[in-house]
């Protein structure tokens, strides 16, 4: 069912302008502002995922309760850890769908971005290395002003800066006619839960594979 809904959405999205803003808006905010005849398949997908999560929780709890012997305990627990990781991943996506935040800002050299009442970011300069006329490495030097405290920080395309629950990402830059940077401020409240789910999934999967290989050798 979920696959059919996603398949329908994949074909319908390009024909609807409303989907142009879906990547920059929290999912449930977007759903609340979009007509139902456009977003119905996403609402249906959310319902199906909720049912899957509830079913996973019930089945996992039932499986753990029914474990009465220590024989194959680690093997059984590994499978349940994978199921639990799915629930944490869905929880992370749910929280981000409700309260995520993404905004883009162009800041010229010497410009200031006010993050909140107490924090300002001052774009000091771009530092870069070249080889044969091509830029091989670049970073933006920022002055982070938090009240009376000023710190110098650097961000690069693969090195974001995290502050007060926000991620600060360098998305683009220009050197001429003046230095400018395009930065993204991003807040993902579900990220810690999704990370926990990913760690549990990896651990459970590796443990399950190793234990099954061990059983075959025996």
pLDDT tens digits, 60-115: 999 888 876 666 788 889 989 999 999 999 999 999 999 998 889 999 999 999 98
User: What gap in Å lies between CA 166 and CA 185, rounded to an integer?
Assistant: 6
| pTM across the whole model | 0.79
In tens digits, the chain (218 residues) has pLDDT values of 899 999 999 898 988 888 988 887 889 999 999 999 999 999 999 999 999 999 999 999 998 888 766 667 888 899 899 999 999 999 999 999 999 988 899 999 999 999 888 889 999 999 999 998 899 999 999 999 987 888 999 999 989 998 878 899 999 999 989 999 999 999 999 999 999 999 999 999 999 999 888 777 65
| Selection from 21, 54, 51 nearest residue 39 by Cα | 21
b/e per residue, 154-164, with b = 16+ CB within 10 A?
A: ebeeeeebebe
Q: Domains along the chain?
A: 2-100+191-217 (no CATH), 101-187 (2.60.98.10)
């Amino acid at each position: 069912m979920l696959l059919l809904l996603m398949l329908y959405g994949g074909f319908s999205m390009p024909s609807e302008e409303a989907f142009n803003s879906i990547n920059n808006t929290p999912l449930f905010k977007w759903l609340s502002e979009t007509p139902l005849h456009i977003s119905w398949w996403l609402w249906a997908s959310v319902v199906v995922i909720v049912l899957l999560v509830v079913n996973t929780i019930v089945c996992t709890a039932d499986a753990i309760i029914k474990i009465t012997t220590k024989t194959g305990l680690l093997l059984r627990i590994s499978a349940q850890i994978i199921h639990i990781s799915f629930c944490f991943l869905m929880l992370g996506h749910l929280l981000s769908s409700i309260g995520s935040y993404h905004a883009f800002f162009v800041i010229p050299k010497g410009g200031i971005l006010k993050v909140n009442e107490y924090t300002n970011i001052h774009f000091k300069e771009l530092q870069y290395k070249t080889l044969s006329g091509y830029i091989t490495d670049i970073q933006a030097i920022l002055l982070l002003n938090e009240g009376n405290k000023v710190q110098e920080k650097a961000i690069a395309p693969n090195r974001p800066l995290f502050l007060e629950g926000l991620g600060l990402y360098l998305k683009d830059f220009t050197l001429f006619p003046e230095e400018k940077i395009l930065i993204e401020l991003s807040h993902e409240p579900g990220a810690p839960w999704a990370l926990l789910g990913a760690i549990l999934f990896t651990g459970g999967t590796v443990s399950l594979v190793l234990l099954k290989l061990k059983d075959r050798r025996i």
